[in-house]
Amino acid sequence: MIRTRRLVLWSAIGVIAIILAGAVVRASGSGYGCPHWPACFEESFFPPTSDAQIPQRFLGDHRITVSKAWTEWINRLIGSLGGLVILAATISAWTEVRNRRLAWLITAAGLLTAFQAWQGARVVKSELDPRFVTVHLLIAIVIFFMLLSAWLGLRGGAAPDHQPALPGLRRLARFVLGLGLAQFLFGALVRGTIDVLSGRGQRESTGALLDEVGAIDWLHRGLGFALMVAVFLLGLRLKALASADHLLGRAATAAKIIVVAQLAAGLLLVEQGLSPAIQVIHVLLGCLLMAALYLQDRLLAPGR
């Protein structure tokens, strides 16, 4: 079972790597660098190595350059490699894990990964419609949560008894998790809307476009501040349990540190006019925060 647990952990890390690769694509404006799926162009599976290899009908399209094509293609390659790791974890689960519920959970994550690949094709065909991009990110987060659940189930050992503190704490933890997920997805909508506005004007994305996003951006910011308050409130409520459950304590501490860092990165992002490097850091912190919040929720589950 050790092998499966390691593969599941690497699968979860792989999902984070895929999300970060997607963030690099978004930050660099490379989402349409390969306009077809799964091949980069209908004429060629691989991206071009020079402008001369870009099909004639795409010449002059600012969204398609050699560097952007390679950025998007590498993103797809990372996604494919991550899918292979999840496939290996699925095969290992059915040969090594006795708990069939966990085996099916890992299998479901693998099947959802296959669906994610199909949905990725729809994202490309929609020419990066923000709604499709946000759904694509949501599916990745769901896969990540499923793998984290499987990893916790494969850890073994008796779980600390949290029953006296439930169900109130569990409801609060789920509320904070939902708040965090909403804030994360609204951030994706903000970034996607900026891409649309930038494309319509035939110009690169700039911080000035944030003023044109409107209510979605302000809701994203408001949820960020509300989330920080909620994370610290939950941390105070978890203080007594954290001493008995070290993993829960570490998750609660990590959540407080990360939510402050993410909020600071968000403010710096606006100040620096959507710096690509800070965008990627902001997404990474968001992924880590989702992991910490989900761990808190799962560790408070009865009979986990």
pLDDT at 202: 41
Contact 141, 111 (CB under 8 A): no
**Same-domain pairing of 278 and 189:** yes
**Residues 186-240: tens digit of each pLDDT:** 888 887 777 777 664 444 445 566 667 778 888 888 999 999 999 999 988 888 7
DSSP three-state, residue 41: strand
Count of structural domains within the chain? 2
**Same-domain pairing of 218 and 283:** yes
Percentage of the chain lying above the pLDDT 90 cut = 33
**Same-domain pairing of 202 and 123:** no
Distance of CA 275 to the CA centre of its chain: 19
Per-residue burial over 172-182, b if 16 or more Cβ lie within 10 Å, else e, is: bbbebbebbbe
Which of 130, 156, 182 is the endpoint of a domain? 156
Handedness of CA 106, 107, 108, 113 (dihedral sign): positive
**Same-domain pairing of 54 and 167:** no
Task: Give, for 170, the enclosing helix (H) or strand (E).
Answer: helix 168-200
Neighbours of 103 (CB within 10 A): 19
pLDDT at 199: 61
Which of 104, 129, 156 is the endpoint of a domain? 156
Which structure tokens are listed for 252? 């609660």
**Mean pLDDT in residue range 110-127:** 81
Whether 133 shows a pLDDT value over 90: the answer reads no
Lowest-confidence region among 47-56, 86-95, 128-137:
128-137
pLDDT-derived band at 304 (thresholds 50, 70, 90) equals: low
The domain in which residue 227 lies consists of 158-304
**Residues 249-267: tens digit of each pLDDT:** 899 999 999 999 999 998 8
Which region holds residue 8: left if phi is over 0, alpha if psi is between -120 and 50, else beta? alpha
pLDDT at 233: 93
* Axis crossing angle, helix 168-200 with helix 276-299, rounded to the nearest 10: 160
**Same-domain pairing of 82 and 220:** no
pLDDT at 164: 53
Which of 156, 183, 204 is the endpoint of a domain? 156
Whole-number mean pLDDT of the chain?
Answer: 84
**Same-domain pairing of 65 and 113:** yes
Contact 136, 79 (CB under 8 A): no
pTM equals 0.82
**Same-domain pairing of 64 and 191:** no
pLDDT at 255: 94
Whether 156 shows a pLDDT value over 70: the answer reads no
**Same-domain pairing of 147 and 9:** yes
**Residues 45-75: tens digit of each pLDDT:** 889 888 888 888 887 777 788 999 999 999 8
**Same-domain pairing of 144 and 4:** yes
Contact 97, 2 (CB under 8 A): no
**Same-domain pairing of 163 and 270:** yes
**Same-domain pairing of 95 and 223:** no
**Same-domain pairing of 259 and 270:** yes
